[in-house]
A and B are shown apart, each in its own frame.
Chain A
């Protein structure tokens, strides 16, 4: 059974159709990339699949249940989402911020217990933030804030992770180490990842499936080897590309 799937999904914004007739089935342990040019609707696809913005048509299922029939709390226990920008109107400490990931697992009167604290601390440690736990969020650098958002996502302990530009603000070393960790984690604990990425090479290296979003709402989805061919990628970004062999597989360079 797939963790997240959609049938004949159509998304519209104003009079633009961003995506039509999309069918995907994301299985446990898989990692999917969403690729496309700027402003093509990658974020809208993510927020629609996350159940945060309405679809124009089609069905979305989380596990074997229709997404629309779940309460926000039931949904948030199974599916988490990382946003491109973090808003901190009244910033607290790093640990407090990571702990908000436990929200869907607690009832209204419940306070975070020892288990919740250890989950948050473990997630902070995974992203190299253990020493910053008492720092104010406002004092973090862009990269640290991004890693805190990733740690908060991990604290939520969902089986499906939707991520909008997870490598935002991260330097090249952090990009690889964060994606490496998520890659191992999804394989070991059978989670599913779906992320938008600007860097085709990160998608080639860390994702086994891809959704390509073309103009006029056309999409192409499936296993990486079938979908992310050189011709498709050139057509997608309107940019001639050169394929090279790297130790971990294929990589592309702008020609």
Chain B
């Protein structure tokens, strides 16, 4: 069937883009590695370049790709669940909740496991508040949803500022960088990648049901979708994906907004195609953004969240304008 051919074709294109992004990310930096040097460092005998590659560039590249994929997947799920193309974990304050959770655990001196757990709790709490407040008894309008999300995000922002104000100043700079979205402190590349793969595999069997959910909850129920169960599964997954991304790299905005939108423009809204393609494109996009962030003003490193905001803000405004005019 043509749809499966389209999926295969898109995945091939995106795999190529992913490969190129990795190649670029591993090549450029303080020491530039040409194709032959890169190959030698990857599979050749031990060398300084090899250490550089396996200790620094590859883990960071894997982190960037995995975080981008997680955010794109979370954004796709959130947009589908809210039936709104402007939904994004960052804009709606889900990342903010996760950041407060992770930062709280950090300031209390608790370990990584605690900070992931409390980050998940923060994301889930944000999600519950968003759905309870924005849904209410009234209608499901874009204005109401976005306002609720922005206010929740502002609330988390205020809590973060209080935490920063009362913490001691030694780590201030690194915490502020992390809050802006920064991959230089990313420490669990493979765990993050494993979460991404597991998350995608869990979403795929739900993909057709999720596509149908975009026609409305009642319609989906009438077509045999167990909507309450699907909704809870998606809340839960989106919260975990966002929490893991935030714990690894802080609050990086707009990847979850931009990526599903671009993929939808190219191949339509069938979630069976949209989910895997968003993961690959989100991963590549963040990997490229991070490569720019660490090389543009080298040796000074920019937080990657700044780069994604530069791409994301204009697109968000464009989408908002288009949705209000139609």
Q: Which residues of A contact B (CB under 8 A)?
A: 47, 50, 52, 71-77, 80-81, 83, 86-93, 96-97, 100-101, 103-104, 106, 108-109, 111-114, 117, 156
Contact = CB atoms under 8 A, between A and B. Distances in A.
Given A86-B215, A89-B84, A100-B215, A52 B223 contact: no
Contacts of B269: 90-92
B218 A83 contact: yes
B225 A72 contact: yes
A96 B269 CA distance: 10
Interface string B209-244: 101101110110111111100000000000000000
Contacts of B270: 92, 96
A100 B209 CA distance: 9
* Interface of B: prevailing SS: helix
Contacts of A81: 222
A103 B143 CA distance: 32
B83 interface: yes
B264 A90 contact: yes
Contacts, number: 87
B224 A77 contact: yes
Interface residues of B, number: 32
Top 6 nearest A-B pairs (CB, nearest first) are A76-B224, A89-B83, A104-B224, A87-B216, A90-B269, A73-B224
A47 B218 contact: yes
A253 to B, nearest CB: 35
A36 to B, nearest CB: 20
Given A83-B219, A92-B270, A104-B223, A111 B3 contact: yes
Contacts of A96: 268, 270
Contacts of A101: 223
A111 B205 CA distance: 11
A106 B264 CA distance: 24
A26 B18 CA distance: 58
Residue among A83, A91, A100 with most chain B CB within 10 A: A100
